[in-house]
Protein backbone atom coordinates (compact mmCIF):
# COMPACT_ATOMS: atom_id res chain seq x y z
CA UNK A 1 0.00 0.00 0.00
CA UNK A 2 2.86 2.37 0.76
CA UNK A 3 6.28 3.19 -0.60
CA UNK A 4 8.73 0.36 -1.35
CA UNK A 5 11.43 2.53 0.25
CA UNK A 6 9.80 2.37 3.70
CA UNK A 7 9.23 -0.57 6.07
CA UNK A 8 5.74 -2.07 6.05
CA UNK A 9 3.73 -0.64 8.96
CA UNK A 10 0.67 -2.24 10.55
CA UNK A 11 -2.58 -1.37 8.79
CA UNK A 12 -6.23 -1.39 9.78
CA UNK A 13 -8.89 -1.71 7.09
CA UNK A 14 -12.40 -0.50 7.94
CA UNK A 15 -15.38 -1.06 5.69
CA UNK A 16 -17.82 1.85 5.57
CA UNK A 17 -20.40 1.52 2.77
CA UNK A 18 -21.08 5.27 2.76
CA UNK A 19 -17.38 6.13 2.31
CA UNK A 20 -16.00 3.38 0.06
CA UNK A 21 -14.82 4.48 -3.36
CA UNK A 22 -12.92 1.42 -4.56
CA UNK A 23 -13.84 -2.23 -4.76
CA UNK A 24 -11.14 -4.86 -5.20
CA UNK A 25 -12.18 -7.87 -7.26
CA UNK A 26 -10.11 -10.94 -7.97
CA UNK A 27 -10.91 -12.32 -11.42
CA UNK A 28 -10.53 -15.98 -12.26
CA UNK A 29 -7.93 -17.06 -14.79
CA UNK A 30 -9.35 -16.66 -18.27
CA UNK A 31 -8.25 -16.17 -21.85
CA UNK A 32 -11.01 -13.61 -22.44
CA UNK A 33 -10.25 -10.79 -20.01
CA UNK A 34 -12.59 -8.34 -21.75
CA UNK A 35 -15.56 -10.65 -21.13
CA UNK A 36 -14.76 -10.75 -17.41
CA UNK A 37 -14.45 -6.97 -17.28
CA UNK A 38 -17.79 -6.64 -19.12
CA UNK A 39 -19.49 -8.85 -16.52
CA UNK A 40 -18.11 -6.72 -13.69
CA UNK A 41 -19.17 -3.57 -15.51
CA UNK A 42 -22.71 -4.91 -15.89
CA UNK A 43 -22.98 -5.57 -12.14
CA UNK A 44 -21.47 -2.13 -11.37
CA UNK A 45 -23.94 -0.30 -13.63
CA UNK A 46 -26.82 -2.24 -12.14
CA UNK A 47 -25.87 -1.38 -8.54
CA UNK A 48 -24.41 2.10 -9.07
CA UNK A 49 -25.61 3.63 -12.36
CA UNK A 50 -24.88 7.22 -11.29
CA UNK A 51 -21.10 6.82 -11.44
CA UNK A 52 -18.90 5.93 -14.42
CA UNK A 53 -17.21 2.53 -14.39
CA UNK A 54 -13.41 2.81 -14.16
CA UNK A 55 -11.00 0.02 -13.38
CA UNK A 56 -7.31 -0.54 -12.74
CA UNK A 57 -5.22 -3.67 -12.44
CA UNK A 58 -3.36 -4.29 -9.18
CA UNK A 59 -0.17 -5.53 -10.86
CA UNK A 60 0.05 -2.39 -13.02
CA UNK A 61 -0.48 -0.13 -10.00
CA UNK A 62 2.10 -2.11 -8.04
CA UNK A 63 4.66 -1.85 -10.85
CA UNK A 64 4.24 1.94 -10.89
CA UNK A 65 5.89 2.00 -7.46
CA UNK A 66 9.03 0.57 -9.06
CA UNK A 67 9.13 2.74 -12.20
CA UNK A 68 12.15 4.69 -10.91
CA UNK A 69 14.02 1.50 -10.04
CA UNK A 70 13.22 0.01 -13.44
CA UNK A 71 14.42 3.19 -15.16
CA UNK A 72 17.69 3.05 -13.20
CA UNK A 73 18.04 -0.62 -14.16
CA UNK A 74 17.52 0.09 -17.85
CA UNK A 75 19.97 3.00 -17.80
CA UNK A 76 22.53 0.86 -15.97
CA UNK A 77 22.22 -1.85 -18.61
CA UNK A 78 22.67 0.65 -21.45
CA UNK A 79 25.69 2.37 -19.89
CA UNK A 80 27.27 -0.92 -18.82
CA UNK A 81 26.92 -2.24 -22.38
CA UNK A 82 28.46 0.96 -23.78
CA UNK A 83 31.30 0.76 -21.25
CA UNK A 84 32.00 -2.86 -22.21
CA UNK A 85 32.03 -2.06 -25.92
CA UNK A 86 34.31 0.96 -25.47
CA UNK A 87 36.61 -1.02 -23.16
CA UNK A 88 36.78 -3.91 -25.61
CA UNK A 89 37.59 -1.55 -28.49
CA UNK A 90 40.27 0.20 -26.45
CA UNK A 91 41.79 -3.10 -25.36
CA UNK A 92 41.73 -4.33 -28.96
CA UNK A 93 43.55 -1.20 -30.12
CA UNK A 94 46.10 -1.40 -27.30
CA UNK A 95 46.73 -5.09 -28.00
CA UNK A 96 47.18 -4.39 -31.71
CA UNK A 97 49.55 -1.52 -30.94
CA UNK A 98 51.57 -3.66 -28.50
CA UNK A 99 51.77 -6.53 -30.96
CA UNK A 100 52.95 -4.16 -33.68
CA UNK A 101 55.58 -2.58 -31.43
CA UNK A 102 56.91 -5.98 -30.39
CA UNK A 103 56.79 -7.44 -33.89
CA UNK A 104 60.59 -7.50 -34.25
CA UNK A 105 61.04 -9.06 -30.80
CA UNK A 106 58.41 -11.69 -31.61
CA UNK A 107 60.05 -12.40 -34.97
CA UNK A 108 63.50 -12.86 -33.39
CA UNK A 109 62.07 -15.15 -30.72
CA UNK A 110 60.28 -17.13 -33.42
CA UNK A 111 63.46 -17.51 -35.47
CA UNK A 112 65.25 -18.65 -32.29
CA UNK A 113 62.68 -21.44 -31.88
CA UNK A 114 59.90 -20.03 -29.71
CA UNK A 115 56.49 -21.64 -30.20
CA UNK A 116 53.39 -19.70 -31.19
CA UNK A 117 51.69 -20.57 -27.89
CA UNK A 118 54.74 -19.34 -25.96
CA UNK A 119 54.71 -16.06 -27.86
CA UNK A 120 50.98 -15.61 -27.28
CA UNK A 121 51.55 -16.25 -23.57
CA UNK A 122 54.41 -13.73 -23.54
CA UNK A 123 52.29 -10.93 -24.98
CA UNK A 124 49.16 -11.83 -22.98
CA UNK A 125 51.02 -11.96 -19.65
CA UNK A 126 51.30 -8.18 -19.27
CA UNK A 127 47.62 -7.61 -20.00
CA UNK A 128 46.60 -10.38 -17.60
CA UNK A 129 48.59 -8.73 -14.82
CA UNK A 130 46.87 -5.38 -15.49
CA UNK A 131 43.39 -6.93 -15.44
CA UNK A 132 44.10 -8.69 -12.14
CA UNK A 133 45.43 -5.47 -10.57
CA UNK A 134 42.34 -3.59 -11.80
CA UNK A 135 40.08 -6.29 -10.34
CA UNK A 136 41.81 -6.17 -6.95
CA UNK A 137 41.44 -2.37 -6.82
CA UNK A 138 37.86 -2.23 -8.15
CA UNK A 139 36.30 -5.08 -6.14
CA UNK A 140 36.19 -3.33 -2.73
CA UNK A 141 34.86 -0.15 -4.35
CA UNK A 142 32.16 -2.09 -6.21
CA UNK A 143 31.20 -4.00 -3.06
CA UNK A 144 30.95 -0.76 -1.06
CA UNK A 145 28.89 0.99 -3.77
CA UNK A 146 26.47 -1.92 -4.23
CA UNK A 147 26.03 -2.37 -0.48
CA UNK A 148 25.32 1.35 -0.10
CA UNK A 149 22.81 1.24 -2.94
CA UNK A 150 20.95 -1.70 -1.37
CA UNK A 151 20.89 -0.02 2.06
CA UNK A 152 18.20 2.34 0.74
CA UNK A 153 15.68 -0.51 0.72
CA UNK A 154 14.27 -2.05 3.91
CA UNK A 155 13.67 -5.37 2.10
CA UNK A 156 16.63 -6.27 -0.05
CA UNK A 157 18.84 -9.06 -1.31
CA UNK A 158 22.36 -9.73 -0.12
CA UNK A 159 25.25 -9.79 -2.55
CA UNK A 160 26.54 -13.34 -2.94
CA UNK A 161 30.28 -13.75 -2.35
CA UNK A 162 30.85 -15.28 -5.79
CA UNK A 163 29.41 -12.35 -7.81
CA UNK A 164 32.56 -10.22 -7.83
CA UNK A 165 35.04 -13.08 -8.52
CA UNK A 166 32.77 -14.30 -11.33
CA UNK A 167 32.68 -10.83 -12.90
CA UNK A 168 36.47 -10.54 -12.53
CA UNK A 169 36.92 -13.92 -14.21
CA UNK A 170 34.59 -12.89 -17.03
CA UNK A 171 36.56 -9.66 -17.53
CA UNK A 172 39.83 -11.63 -17.57
CA UNK A 173 38.47 -14.09 -20.14
CA UNK A 174 37.24 -11.29 -22.41
CA UNK A 175 40.59 -9.50 -22.12
CA UNK A 176 42.51 -12.72 -22.85
CA UNK A 177 40.30 -13.44 -25.84
CA UNK A 178 40.89 -10.00 -27.32
CA UNK A 179 44.63 -9.88 -26.55
CA UNK A 180 45.26 -13.46 -27.60
CA UNK A 181 43.72 -12.85 -31.02
CA UNK A 182 46.18 -10.01 -31.66
CA UNK A 183 49.06 -11.91 -30.09
CA UNK A 184 48.31 -14.97 -32.22
CA UNK A 185 48.22 -12.82 -35.36
CA UNK A 186 51.62 -11.34 -34.50
CA UNK A 187 53.12 -14.70 -33.50
CA UNK A 188 51.90 -16.55 -36.58
CA UNK A 189 53.09 -13.91 -39.07
CA UNK A 190 56.14 -14.48 -41.21
CA UNK A 191 59.26 -13.22 -39.34
CA UNK A 192 60.88 -12.21 -42.62
CA UNK A 193 58.39 -9.38 -43.06
CA UNK A 194 59.24 -7.89 -39.65
CA UNK A 195 63.03 -8.32 -39.96
CA UNK A 196 63.33 -7.17 -43.56
CA UNK A 197 64.34 -3.62 -42.62
CA UNK A 198 67.08 -4.73 -40.22
DSSP state letters, 119-161: HHHHHHHHHHHHHHHHHHHHHHHHHHHHHHHHTT-SS-----T
**pTM for the predicted model, two decimal places:** 0.70
Per-residue pLDDT tens digits for 138-174 = 999 999 999 998 888 888 888 898 999 999 999 999 9
The Cα–Cα gap between 36 and 7 comes to 35
Q: Does residue 118 sit in helix, strand or coil?
A: helix
pLDDT at 86: 96
Residues 124 and 180: beta-carbon distance below 8 Å: yes
Mean pLDDT calculated for residue range 108-135 = 87
Give the Cβ contact number of residue 102 at 10 Å. 19
18-45: burial string, b at 16+ Cβ within 10 Å, e else: eeeeeeeeeeeeeeeeeeeeeeeeeebe
Mean pLDDT calculated for residue range 97-117 = 85
Angle among Cα 24, 19, 49 to the nearest 5 degrees reads: 70
pLDDT at 194: 66
The Cα–Cα gap between 58 and 154 comes to 22
pLDDT at 19: 79
Amino acid sequence: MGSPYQPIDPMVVIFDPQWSSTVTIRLGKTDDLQASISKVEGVFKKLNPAFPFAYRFADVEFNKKFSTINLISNLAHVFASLALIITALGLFGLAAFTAEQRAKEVSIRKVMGASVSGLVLLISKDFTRLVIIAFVLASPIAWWFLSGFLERYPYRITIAWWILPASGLAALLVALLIVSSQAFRAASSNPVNSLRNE
